[in-house]
Amino acid sequence: MRNYAQELEDRVAYIRDVLRKAGAKGVVYGNSGGKDCALVGILCKKATPNVLGVTMPCQSKRNYASDMEDALAVARQFDIETVSVDLTAAKEALAGAVGAVQPLAPMADANMNPRLRMTTLYSIAQSRGALVAGTGNRSEVFMGYFTKWGDGAYDFNPIADLTVTEIYEFLRYLEAPASIIAKKPSAGLYEGQTDEEEMGVSYEIIDKFILYGLADDAVCEKLTQVNRATAHKRELPSVYKHID
């Protein structure tokens, strides 16, 4: 297990350094009520008082209910200023406009949500002279389990090296709300969605493979194939010629 007292000190120093180098006045991040954004919000608030969490419900009923409750619970406990931007109407308008010329595949429709959320965060951050904090963890990055130009877009990410197992350990160290630690991880893109069911593998298995190389041959092959197939999400876009 990591030394989370030292991890806290190091990550707070990192965030302060990022803000200083950018000349930024603070941090804006999406607070969905999940484990990752909870940890990011806590770390950022310990680094600077100027932190704004943004809840962005969009169509899914849980966005307005349990997710919102958990998001506000973290905000209250760690004194994080929080605002809400309801994106349902914007999503319906965009989906309708695009759908009029191109019928939307189910995942294309679902991925509009995180892309609208990132647009919202950057609009708010730019207006405040702030940076956008990313909330993706190492397990998700390895699996490519994020939306390109959606939650995969940010100015800095203080938890990208932590697996889901380590995220939970860190949250327990920080005494985050128990409801966030107990809930099943979900992107909340549609009703009943959970990360592990959608990926077809548990975070425990993913983390053991990442950290220790532990997995049977079939699982090893599956994880390796997924990692390879999603490599484009972790790389800069291809260009014809590199320009310095």
Tell me the mean pLDDT in the region 181-196. Answer: 76
According to DSSP, the residues that pair with 53 across neighbouring strands are 29, 82
Q: Residue 236's pLDDT is what?
A: 87
Q: Residue 232's pLDDT is what?
A: 95
Q: 166-179: per-residue pLDDT in tens?
A: 999 999 999 999 99
For the record, the structure tokens of 218 come out as 């079939």
pLDDT interval class at 190 (50, 70, 90): low
Instruction: Give the start-to-end residue ranges of the domains of the chain.
Output: 4-199
CATH of domain 4-199: 3.40.50.620
Q: 138-171: per-residue pLDDT in tens?
A: 999 999 999 999 999 999 999 999 999 999 999 9
Tell me the mean pLDDT in the region 63-80. Answer: 94
Q: Residue 229's pLDDT is what?
A: 97
| pLDDT(187) > 80 | no
Q: Residue 139's pLDDT is what?
A: 97
Which 3 state secondary structure label does DSSP give 239? coil
Q: Which amino acid is at 48?
A: T
Taking Cα atoms as reference points, which of 78, 49, 59, 48 lies closest to residue 180?
A: 78
Tell me the mean pLDDT in the region 77-95. Answer: 98
68 within 8 A of 60, measured Cβ to Cβ:
no
Q: Residue 195's pLDDT is what?
A: 84
Question: Distance between CA atoms of 171 and 73, rounded to whole angstroms?
Answer: 14
Q: 14-59: per-residue pLDDT in tens?
A: 999 999 999 999 999 999 999 999 999 999 999 999 999 999 999 8
Task: Supply the mean pLDDT for the chain.
Answer: 94
Q: Residue 189's pLDDT is what?
A: 66
Q: Residue 188's pLDDT is what?
A: 66
Residues 6+ apart with CB under 8 A from 168: 35, 181
Percent of the chain with pLDDT over 70: 96
